[in-house]
Amino acid sequence: MTSIIPRIEQLSARVVRVLGCNPGPMTLQGTNTYLVGTGDRRVLIDTGDPAVPDYISSLKLALQQFSTNIQEVLVTHWHHDHIGGVEDVCRDVTGPQVLVSKLPRATKVQETIGEKKLNYLRDGDIIRTEGATLKVLFTPGHTDDHMALLLEEEGALFSGDCILGEGTAVFEDLYDYMRSLKILLDSNAQLIYPGHGPVVQDAASKIQHYISHRDQREQQILEAIRAGNGRTFSSMELVKIVYKVRSGLQQQGPEGETSSAVLQETPEYLHGAANVNLVHHLKKLEKEGSISLGTLVRKRRERRRRRRTSGATRANMAAPLQDAAAAAPADRPSLTAAGQKLQHGAAVEVSHQALLSSGSAWWGRIRTEPESGGPYVLILSSYGADVIGHPEMNRGGGSVGLLEGGPCQMGLWIRNIS
């Protein structure tokens, strides 16, 4: 059973964790932010989400409790649950003069948070504060600007979202992500302070587990391709082969129990999410020269098929969306047509098996049994979603699946697809 993470906790002589007070399926109990050092000026790693007064209160209390201030702020990557609180911290805690640093995006665009310009670090840079030395490790894959930080005095990693305290991480480039895992393994760290979830006490075992998990999936894909004896596949055809047999993988059940799945066919409604993960693997294998996507995946045929069926698909989606609109109370916005764009933060009442869209980012689907009640409220944001009113969904259970979408929009929603 997962232990409860307190809002403020001293983890070592040099590290104090301040919980971001932003729980959700994508953030687990919340974003872990850290005060690092032993003196009266310390480094703050990550800042949580924007506009979370409870976090600012906790941060102020931690600074008071340990008689310290913030020397500078380091941000592990651009996702809003790590960088989003910068403006609030600068306004309410440090003042605007504090240095805020991160690695640059691949596009080299100058980033700002409100009126705050960011300082850019480089791989291998050293940040020093009293009692602590932090080394920057460029670890892309989860995002193109992701960094981990090695606390040299403890042999400990601040892993951001490259390694989580629970479950596996999502990524936008698997090739880069696997290289980053090897960088973390080569750091010889003893423990990990993750961006979400509890402290990882055996760093090497955790990192190796992540690597082995991906390697096993990759081998399943290659075996399916070899078994085809030279035939071509669409990626979805491979999904139906690879995500059927999950021999030896640990799987979390609906009540949180863990078991080894010998034969488990992934439900069809999750095949879209599985396809995203599988395509990540295919792109990695192509970069390594193991396969050629031009001959493996029938891209043109798939595009033609999608064009032929797009009208029917939209028609099929319209009915459940209209059902959801009919079920929605008058004080909530409702969906009236398939593909309607919602503002981030919009709340929509949905009924059994309704499909939702938040624009082009991703599709979400709620699956409940008719006798389980409802409707429920799905809170959409630019990064993920929250479901209010359903106990399994509130703790990130398997009741919600993302069907298609861009990088880093799925993963923690889909506990059985990784």
Q: What is the pLDDT of residues 129-154, one digit of tens each?
A: 999 999 999 999 999 999 999 999 99
Q: What is the pLDDT of residue 26?
A: 77
Distance CA 400, CA 392 (A): 9
Q: What is the pLDDT of residue 378?
A: 37
pLDDT(400) > 60: no
Question: What's the angle, vertex CA 353, arms to CA 335 and CA 304, rounded to 5?
Answer: 80
Q: What is the pLDDT of residue 277?
A: 81
> Which of 350, 402, 357 shows the shortest CA–CA distance to 376?
350
Q: What is the pLDDT of residue 278?
A: 87
Q: What is the pLDDT of residues 9-31, one digit of tens each?
A: 999 999 999 999 999 877 889 99
pLDDT(249) > 60: no
pLDDT(238) > 60: yes
Between the alpha carbon of residue 372 and those of residues 267, 327, 351, 368, the distances in Å are: 20, 15, 11, 7
Give the percent of the chain with pLDDT over 70.
64
pLDDT band at 2 (very low <50, low <70, confident <90, very high): low
Between the alpha carbon of residue 11 and those of residues 67, 132, 362, the distances in Å are: 16, 14, 37
Cβ distance 55 to 125 under 8 Å?
no
Distance CA 314, CA 303 (A): 16
Please tell me the pTM assigned to this model: 0.68
Q: What is the pLDDT of residue 110?
A: 79
Cβ distance 273 to 410 under 8 Å?
yes
